[in-house]
Structure 1
């Protein structure tokens, strides 16, 4: 086992691993296939000069950066030896399509319905550019293009443009990106002042994690200071979500209350835990207050924030659940794609809209997959049976949602599937030195 070092080597970690995205922002995902190993390695060499490090806090590019990630098939295409590949997390080696059963990607969300080439061996390299506005994003993409320009053996096979609004809301109308953990040694504060920073090894490979161990793919020159990234394109059926709330509610005020009970927050971002009776937009807009709360003392059984609501499933905080919560914390990023459905429209207009979801962490199995399978698509962890996350769960119309209350709980109608997976992949985010290592590989 590698001995952990005291401080994060920020100059070798891609900025996209630890840095929160700007607000608002625009982003683009580009997927490439490597057809020529020599050209793929040249892409890695060039990318090492394009990617901004987490230690570059005074970059002239400001809040604009590019991240480069590689899939298992990409590492194979670059010529990484099998003995090295076998030291990576097995979920990463299998790929997202092979993990569909565990992730709840069935029915409409099953891999045979995914956008081509997502979920296939043709996804090798994922380049993500992030900037505060479309103009700066275009400039970032121009700089990133230098990494693959005139490399005939590297082919762009997929692209997704996305954005975050100044309101920070996603298509269902909720403020997004509210919660993120603090990472020891990063210098970046977490959003919950009641939560102690997590060990760096939960998110960056080669450092001590919450269990006291380290995990580093080999050789160390490749694995250290890297991380795993999961990206998923999630289509949102906004019209169906609106119709469900409208039909289940007794009136406009009740509709907003139900929306809050399902999510655990009012649409403004104000949590039920801090504002249980009514929305508080000022609280929802305050990053210093809107996420600083716990459950165990004030709301152990979920009369205020239901145990089955989205945010309590995604992060049970101090509530007693199956599994140690700190072992399942994630860095989560989301970006909206597609045009908004006009307000008050209850019928689908046929446009593709949704969320580009990204997870960053060092343990894809006990972080992303555990949360997705055990907390989002099951309810054993909080003492119920069969119920799934009301917002993103893989529903089939057979189960509803229960709002705990006295003297009689409120049972909502069966839930349709509001979110459909359009594709995605497990990726490895190499450190900057590792990008150069990949570029210098020889047969």
Structure 2
């Protein structure tokens, strides 16, 4: 089997949603479909191969606008992909996210029995994502993609989630989002941390060598190569509870912002504690070339500046000394806000559904998304904090608080409620453009 090297990464065959960042600000829509007729499902794949945007198209005819198409394992079955081929895909993908719920911390209010239909169910087959700088161009992108699924009686639209990004680039808790992303060898797309060595393409694109020198490529090669896995999750944010927690545990407005920074690892402007340890620095937070260029190991090994338990340090410990090789667990993360903002200063929930649609991109579901979710976000052993969970997204039950390292005494905050509740999600495969055509040409 021939293997593409990082020097020959075929961007024209890779969906743009795998490697390209999103415009700022942007609007996005997720559309889910069920395949009821195999022939129509294959026609959907054929049409999708001409509607999706490749990673080589840095600017589409519509501007910073593109469409990507992902398929679940049940969707692959509905298309008639042979079992011998499906068995070569990641076992987590074949199981589906709902089956992995307990391991992922999706319990209680986050358990699949409470998820939005059809998320996590056998009826979720295809996810189409459209991204654009504004709602007007987003509708144009959807119109552009509509011929791919319109007038196919055997393909049923089952779910839609509209998202957006504020001009401030913040999410509902008030933090600047989308700050960190890795550089991928052969992509030509720079990472946000100039101190991080680009990762091998095989960490994110199937059919290429990864950091361990291996090649993950489901069979046949035409189906797997230049594809990737996508993890979609709809996460509800309890903004009022988060605001009350900060207020109840602080001595005043300045202390409230400090606690918010110690929990996240960044001030809400996006300025990292690593570079602005005492006070917020909005100019730094707004500078994409500076706000993510830092490490932990040499300057802050004990976490006195950026706590080891903070959200961003858990998600990416960088060069810090932790259990596990950090580069093997890197992912491409993208979030999009949904639902109306809770008015500033309001401390009581208004009943509206608001949160984030998250997409995690990688070639290794187990050692990337699942490892980070189970070992780094919902456990603390890797940095010596026993079973402490991530303060922002962790599966809290109100029994454990948050500890901020400081001299001479640590600061212990009250027990944490669960601020983020899973509303649903799924593991998907992002086929290459060649693979979309292959799926469209399948025969029984």
Structure 2 length normalisation: TM-score?
0.99
Distance between the aligned counterparts of 1:328 and 1:285, measured in 2? Answer: 27
In the other structure, the counterpart of 1:3 is 3
Q: RMSD across aligned C-alpha pairs, in angstroms?
A: 0.7
Distance between the aligned counterparts of 2:176 and 2:233, measured in 1? Answer: 19
In the other structure, the counterpart of 2:187 is 186
Matched, 1:293 2:294: yes
Distance between the aligned counterparts of 1:275 and 1:215, measured in 2? Answer: 40
- Runs of 4+ that moved beyond 4 A: none
Matched, 1:238 2:246: no
Task: Please show how residues 156-167 of structure 1 align to structure 2 within 5 Å.
Answer: 156-167=157-168
Matched, 1:33 2:34: yes
Task: Please show how residues 354-365 of structure 1 align to structure 2 within 5 Å.
Answer: 354-365=355-366
1:4–1:214 contact (8 Å) kept in structure 2: no
SS at match of 2:199: coil
Task: Please show how residues 319-330 of structure 1 align to structure 2 within 5 Å.
Answer: 319-330=320-331
Please state how far the C-alpha of 1:56 moved relative to its aligned partner: 1.7
Please state how far the C-alpha of 1:3 moved relative to its aligned partner: 3.3
Task: Please show how residues 153-232 of structure 1 align to structure 2 within 5 Å.
Answer: 153-232=154-233
In the other structure, the counterpart of 1:385 is 386
Distance between the aligned counterparts of 2:46 and 2:4, measured in 1? Answer: 27
Structure 1 length normalisation: TM-score?
0.99
1:227–1:428 contact (8 Å) kept in structure 2: yes
Structure 2 gaps, min length 5: none
Distance between the aligned counterparts of 1:423 and 1:384, measured in 2? Answer: 29
Distance between the aligned counterparts of 2:375 and 2:175, measured in 1? Answer: 24
In the other structure, the counterpart of 1:341 is 342
SS at match of 1:77: helix
Distance between the aligned counterparts of 1:114 and 1:345, measured in 2? Answer: 27
Cα deviation code 1:381-415 (max 9, x no counterpart): 00111110000000000000000000000000000
- The range that moved more, 48-57 or 128-137, is 48-57
Shift of the 157–194 alpha-carbon distance from structure 1 to 2, 3 Å rule, reads: same
Distance between the aligned counterparts of 1:344 and 1:58, measured in 2? Answer: 39
In the other structure, the counterpart of 2:131 is 130
2:233–2:423 contact (8 Å) kept in structure 1: yes
Please state how far the C-alpha of 1:102 moved relative to its aligned partner: 1.3
Distance between the aligned counterparts of 2:185 and 2:63, measured in 1? Answer: 23
1:334–1:355 contact (8 Å) kept in structure 2: yes
Task: Please show how residues 248-267 of structure 1 align to structure 2 within 5 Å.
Answer: 248-267=249-268
Distance between the aligned counterparts of 1:109 and 1:35, measured in 2? Answer: 29
Cα deviation code 1:350-393 (max 9, x no counterpart): 00000001000000100000000000000000011111000000
1:89–1:364 contact (8 Å) kept in structure 2: yes
